[in-house]
Structure 1
Amino acid sequence: MCSLQTKQLNEAAKTHTNVKFYSVTVDTPFAQERFCTANEIDGLKAVSDFKYHQFGIQNGFFIKEKGLLTRALMIVDENNTVKYIEYVSEEGKEVNVEKALKFLESKLLKK
């Protein structure tokens, strides 16, 4: 799990209670559960793409050579239409969670 991104989104989920937040990784469900418990991640749903990599393959996130998902952040509306996406260009870099949340707040959430 990208721990920093997950922690930031968990905090955002507490503010935006009308939005569903997910963190998708190739960590095993057991590893996800340990991480979420240890870090008090309770505002979002952690989902494992460990076994079949279906999410990663369908969305272009799966890096076959490494068996990992590329770090990315996606905002999908209520019709499952992708409205925002950011892929990280280099391994070890972080997505801009603040920028994505500003987009969410200004473009998708009713004021």
Structure 2
Amino acid sequence: GKVDDVAIWGRALAPFEVSDIWNGGDGKSIEEMLGLAIPFEFTNIIYNAAEDGFRLEWNSKPNKTYALYFSESLAEFDADIDDSITSQGETTVYPGEDEWLPNPLEGAPKLFFRIEENQ
């Protein structure tokens, strides 16, 4: 096999800590498991009433692409806005700084967005 994560600890790990990392990993990095990773979440959502548009910002990773979805409820996110948004580094803003995302549900009383990292 190949080594995909390496960590150096300043102390010996207890057997349960090693077991937790081994069994609870589920593809997560050591940083994620220890709570040291930057959370994958929206950091800013701006609504411009004059343009009836949005600008979204989230924590991202370099060299990744993302898919943006919207929904009128939290039940289903089957409507995508863009499924190939290129990361801008550690933070991504969509659309660009001088643009606004047109409201996909004009007149709706509420609107939810979801961002996913493409595999």
- Is the TM-score greater than 0.5? no
Alignment TM class, shorter chain as reference: under 0.3
When normalised by structure 2's length, the TM-score is 0.26
Kindly indicate which of the two structures has a greater share of residues assigned to strand.
2
Larger radius of gyration between Structure 1 and Structure 2: 2
Higher RCO (C-alpha 8 Å, min separation 6):
2
When normalised by structure 1's length, the TM-score is 0.28
